């Protein structure tokens, strides 16, 4: 991490124009004729401090006596001032507030490495930029504003939890303290705080938005009508900040079709058997064979027939994702590494199968894809203590995040394929 890296990160992520640079400072234009500065000597000192700390997944910053992590506040309670708690028994101090300068440059640097231009600019409105300078309007400015302080003020809910300890602690200790602190906040004041576990969790929504993002006036009115239930599941997915909830909502879009598609397949299978030239209803062997097919397809449980969900999933994929090559190209538009990722990697926490979209055997692709999706879904839903294949919130989020791109694209394909012209 160098001084120029942070200067470029600020320009790239926030679209602040670098209007002047000397040996002492870099000056950025924030809005209109308002500027803010970054003093290079102070920045150099911050960089030295960050380099002396450890990082984990580019989101946690820590040493033996300090820990800081970016959090997402999903509650209706906004932090208006620093929330601070001291534990004099265990010699710990907890703080929920704007990030430290060290953490902010650490975050800016890592976001810049993710190649997400204007990522932080998107949530900033012009009035927020102007408001921070209003107190100085019409007056001679006595000091130059720090660009780091400006960033903290204008980005909504940019918050971290900091834990300081007088005794030396390990990372595992700090993470236990972290979850104890957020549980206390949730239990007592219904504050829903979620720590981020890796940098991609922050940048993930940008990857799809980068492809489709348009100015509101450029969006055309609807030309097609969609199935209402599917739209509701889709909206629930894209509005959730919880990765596992997103996955299950996309899965519900697929699940909507299971029963009809599976029952149609059962009927077609029976029809094929009945219309074979060698089938005779008078021959017991033929009738038993037909009964066996029905028993295999439909299982009687709890006084009702149940379908084979994995098979129903595979049939749904075959019906609506007709061109695997086109689907693979759409994945590559999101990220050129995705198809390679699915080809080379199982889903770590549930051994979801690898999927090679370039495989000329389409049956094998559909089969592997269905098993990858189904095993992942089961691991999220059935998280029993003694289960080997189970999803653990936060711990397994990194394995799950790439599955979201796959599920979102499948869900969108199904919604479009089952729509009709308006």
pLDDT recorded at residue 212: 58
User: Residue 29 is inside which H or E element, if any?
Assistant: strand 25-31
Question: At which residue do the structure tokens 């309007």 appear?
Answer: 137
pLDDT recorded at residue 203: 73
Residue 382's CB is within 10 A of a number of other CB atoms, namely: 11
> The dihedral of CA 352, 227, 324, 298: what is its sign?
positive
CA quadruple 226, 228, 234, 240: dihedral, nearest 10: 150
pLDDT recorded at residue 86: 92
Could you list the pLDDT tens digit for every one of the 422 residues in the chain?
Answer: 899 999 999 898 888 889 999 999 999 988 777 888 999 999 999 999 999 999 988 889 999 999 999 998 877 655 566 788 999 999 999 999 999 999 999 999 998 888 777 777 665 656 666 666 665 554 445 567 899 998 888 887 789 999 999 999 999 999 999 999 998 888 888 888 888 888 877 776 555 555 555 555 666 778 889 999 999 999 998 878 788 899 999 999 999 998 888 888 777 777 777 788 877 777 878 777 777 777 666 664 544 556 788 999 999 999 999 999 999 999 988 888 889 999 999 998 898 999 999 999 999 999 999 999 999 999 998 865 555 678 887 778 888 888 999 999 999 999 999 998 88
Residue 53's CB is within 10 A of a number of other CB atoms, namely: 16
Which residues have CB under 8 Å from 285's CB, separation 6+?
none
On the 0-12 / 13-18 / 19+ scale of CB atoms within 10 A, 420 is exposed
pLDDT recorded at residue 300: 47
User: What residues are paired with 164 via a beta bridge?
Assistant: 66, 93
Tokens of 412: 């969108």
DSSP 136: G
Question: At which residue do the structure tokens 């704007």 appear?
Answer: 98
Tokens of 413: 């394909």
pLDDT recorded at residue 88: 92
For strand 60-62 and strand 54-56, is the pairing parallel, antiparallel, or unpaired?
A: antiparallel
pLDDT recorded at residue 231: 92
For strand 224-225 and strand 420-421, is the pairing parallel, antiparallel, or unpaired?
A: antiparallel
pTM, entire model? 0.69
């Amino acid at each position: 991490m160098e001084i120029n890296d942070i200067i470029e990160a600020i320009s790239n992520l926030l679209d602040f124009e670098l209007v002047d640079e000397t040996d002492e400072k870099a000056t950025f234009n924030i809005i209109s004729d308002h500027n803010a500065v970054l003093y290079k000597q102070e920045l150099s000192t911050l960089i030295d401090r960050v380099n002396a700390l450890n990082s984990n997944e580019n989101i946690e910053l820590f040493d033996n006596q300090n820990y800081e992590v970016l959090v997402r506040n999903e509650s209706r309670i906004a932090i208006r001032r620093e929330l601070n708690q001291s534990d004099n028994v265990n010699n710990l101090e907890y703080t929920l507030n704007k990030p430290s300068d060290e953490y902010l440059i650490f975050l800016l640097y890592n976001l810049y490495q993710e190649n997400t231009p204007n990522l932080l600019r998107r949530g900033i409105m012009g009035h927020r930029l102007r408001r921070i300078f209003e107190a100085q309007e019409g007056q001679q400015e006595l000091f130059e504003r720090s660009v780091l302080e400006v960033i903290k003020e204008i980005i909504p809910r940019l918050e971290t939890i900091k834990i300081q300890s007088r005794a030396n602690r390990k990372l595992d200790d700090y993470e236990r303290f972290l979850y104890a602190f957020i549980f206390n906040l949730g239990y007592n004041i219904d504050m829903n705080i979620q720590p981020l576990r890796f940098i991609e969790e922050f940048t993930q929504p940008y990857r799809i938005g980068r492809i489709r993002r348009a100015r509101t006036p450029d969006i055309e009115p609807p030309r097609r009508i969609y199935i209402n239930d599917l739209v509701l599941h889709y909206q629930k997915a894209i509005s959730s900040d919880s990765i596992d909830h997103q996955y299950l909502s996309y899965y519900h879009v697929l699940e909507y079709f299971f029963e009809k598609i599976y029952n149609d397949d059962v009927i077609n299978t029976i029809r094929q058997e009945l219309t074979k030239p060698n089938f005779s209803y008078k021959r017991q062997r033929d009738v038993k064979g037909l009964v066996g097919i029905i028993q295999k397809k439909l299982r009687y449980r709890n006084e009702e027939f149940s379908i084979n969900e994995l098979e129903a999933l595979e049939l749904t994929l075959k019906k609506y994702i007709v061109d695997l090559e086109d689907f693979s190209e759409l994945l590559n538009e999101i990220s050129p590494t995705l198809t390679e990722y699915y080809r080379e990697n199982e889903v770590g926490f549930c051994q979801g199968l690898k999927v090679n979209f370039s495989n000329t055997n389409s049956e094998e692709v559909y089969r592997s894809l269905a098993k990858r999706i189904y095993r992942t879904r089961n691991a999220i839903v059935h998280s029993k203590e003694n289960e080997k294949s189970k999803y653990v919130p936060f711990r397994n989020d990194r394995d799950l995040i790439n599955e979201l791109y796959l599920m979102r694209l499948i869900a969108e394909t199904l919604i479009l394929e089952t729509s009709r012209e308006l």
